[in-house]
């Protein structure tokens, strides 16, 4: 009996050590990924997009280092896009999300329209006023309808997945409002994202029914898949 208890205690210590070592390794991976200032440098072909009559270039940004006009722009864009789908929850969510958007951990990929003035060998070297012109106007300019339905969304999501792969992430996760049916279909049908097991509707259907959003994910390895994706069960 004593030998068995000793063996069990030893096994628990070994498992605990393994868990702690694994957590430490994961923390190091996240720390390393977070330290990258410009993820686009690793993917030069993705710095420009010229398809379907759309010509744009991409540049990176960090939340707490954004110029004031850009901070104002993205926060106005957040409100314009999210206030309706969030409904009554928006008043509480807005303050949290506004803080998150300008935190040191926040990373951005800005898509800017290419012009004759910004198509030189180094378009990012242009002055700040020229780059940001037209981005702090009224809400009629915030949704950028001219860039929709031209393949840009899929292109950007492919880039995000490449960045995740390169930085040894196990999955890409995102939040989609249930009311945004077009976005939900885009992610689940075209990009093959699934509703994660940590999404409210999977954790507790009763709680999920009260929430306005779902958490979607796409996993890149079996371990992440086991943790984040819904296991399909045959009802038959």
Of residues 44, 79, 74, the one with CA closest to residue 59: 44
Q: Where are the domains of the chain?
A: 168-231
Q: What is the pLDDT along the chain (236 residues), one digit of tens a residue?
A: 555 565 677 788 888 888 889 889 888 988 999 899 999 999 999 999 999 988 999 999 999 999 999 998 888 888 888 888 777 888 888 989 999 999 999 999 999 887 653 444 444 434 333 333 333 333 333 366 778 889 999 999 999 999 999 999 999 999 998 888 999 999 999 999 999 989 999 999 888 888 888 999 999 887 777 766 654 443 33
SS3 letters across the chain: CHHHHHHHHHHHHHHHHHHHHHHHHHHHHHHHHHCCCCHHHHCHHHHEEEECCEEEEEEEEEHHHCCHHHHHHHHHHHHHHHHHHHHHHHHHHHHHHHHHHCCCCCEEEEEEECCHHHCCCCHHHCCHHHHHCCCCCCHHHCCCHHHCCCCHHHHHHHHHHHHHHHCCCCEEEEEEECCCHHHHHHHHHHCCCEEECCCHHHHCHHHHHHCCEEEEEEECCHHHHHHHECCCCCCC
Q: Whole-prediction pTM value?
A: 0.76
CA distances from 44 to 38, 39, 47, 48, 98 (A): 11, 10, 5, 8, 30
């Amino acid at each position: 009996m004593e030998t068995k208890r000793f063996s069990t205690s030893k096994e628990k210590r070994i498992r605990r050590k393994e868990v702690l070592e694994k957590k430490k390794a994961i923390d190091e991976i996240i720390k390393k990924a977070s330290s990258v200032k410009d993820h686009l440098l690793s993917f030069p072909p993705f710095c420009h997009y010229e398809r379907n009559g759309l010509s744009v270039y991409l540049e990176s940004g960090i939340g707490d280092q954004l110029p004031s006009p850009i901070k104002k722009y993205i926060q106005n864009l957040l409100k314009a896009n999210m206030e309706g789908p969030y409904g009554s929850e928006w008043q509480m969510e807005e303050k949290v999300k506004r803080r998150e958007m300008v935190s040191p951990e926040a990373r951005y990929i800005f898509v800017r329209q290419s012009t004759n003035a910004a198509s030189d060998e180094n378009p990012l070297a242009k002055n700040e006023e020229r780059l940001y012109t037209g981005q702090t106007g009224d809400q009629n300019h915030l949704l950028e309808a001219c860039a929709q339905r031209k393949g840009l969304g899929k292109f950007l999501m492919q880039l995000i997945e490449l960045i995740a792969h390169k930085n040894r992430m196990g999955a890409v996760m995102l939040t989609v409002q249930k009311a945004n049916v077009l976005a939900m279909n885009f992610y689940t049908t075209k990009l093959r994202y699934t509703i994660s097991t940590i999404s409210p509707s999977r954790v507790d259907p009763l709680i999920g029914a009260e929430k306005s959003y779902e958490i979607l994910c796409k996993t890149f390895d079996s371990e992440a898949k086991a943790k984040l994706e819904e296991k399909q069960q045959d009802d038959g």
